[in-house]
Amino acid sequence: MAEGFTPITTQEQFDQAIGERLKRKEAEVRKEYADYDTQKQTITEKESKITELEKTITELNGKISGYEQTIGEKDAKIKGYETDSVKTRIAREMGLSFDAVDLLTGDNEEAIKKSATTLKAFVDSAKGPAPSFEPNGEGSGSGKDAGYKNMIKGMKGEE
C-alpha cells in the first residue's frame, strides 16, 4: 500500500473527499438544464397554439366544403341556364315555337340541333287537317268507329 493513503471510514470523510467533485458536477448539470423551465413553458405555449390552429383548420375545412357544395349547385344552375339559352336560340333559328323549347333534348349544341331538326321534321309532317274530336263520344254516325258505336247502342237497347 501507498504511504500517504488513509482509508475513509466515515460518511463525513467520504462527503468531504468527493464534495468538491459533486459540487462541480451539480453546477454543470444546473448550467446544462438552466433553461428547462423556459423551454417547458415555450413548448406548452406552442402546443396550445397548435391545438388552436387545428381547431381553426377544422372550422375552415367545414366552411370550404359548404362553399364547394354551393359552388357546385350554382354551376349546375348556370349550366341549366346556358342549355336553356342554347335551346331557345336553336328553336328560334329552326322556326319552332317558344313552347317547343321544352321538347328539345341534349347536353350540348350539337345534340340540341339534332333534336330540333327531328322535332321540326315531325312538326312539318304533322301539318294537315286537325283530327276530328267529339268530347261526348257521340257523332253523326259516320266515320270509322260509327259501326262499333251503333253496335254498343244496340246491345244496351238504346236505339
What is the per-residue pLDDT across 101-129, written as a single tens digit (0 to 9) for each? 888 988 889 999 999 999 888 888 766 65
Q: What is the pLDDT of residue 136?
A: 53
Cα–Cα distance measured from residue 121 to residue 87, given in angstroms and rounded to the nearest whole number: 17
Enter the pTM of the model.
Answer: 0.47
Residue type, 80: G
- With 80 as the cut, is the pLDDT of residue 3 above it? no
Per-range mean pLDDT, top range of 34-43, 52-61, 92-101, 130-139 = 52-61
Triad 68, 69, 72: Cα angle to 5°: 85
**Mean pLDDT of the chain, nearest integer:** 85
Joined grid coordinates for residue 79: 349550366
Confidence of residue 131 (pLDDT cuts 50, 70, 90): low
Domain boundaries, the chain: 13-124
Q: What is the pLDDT of residue 128?
A: 60
- With 90 as the cut, is the pLDDT of residue 41 above it? yes
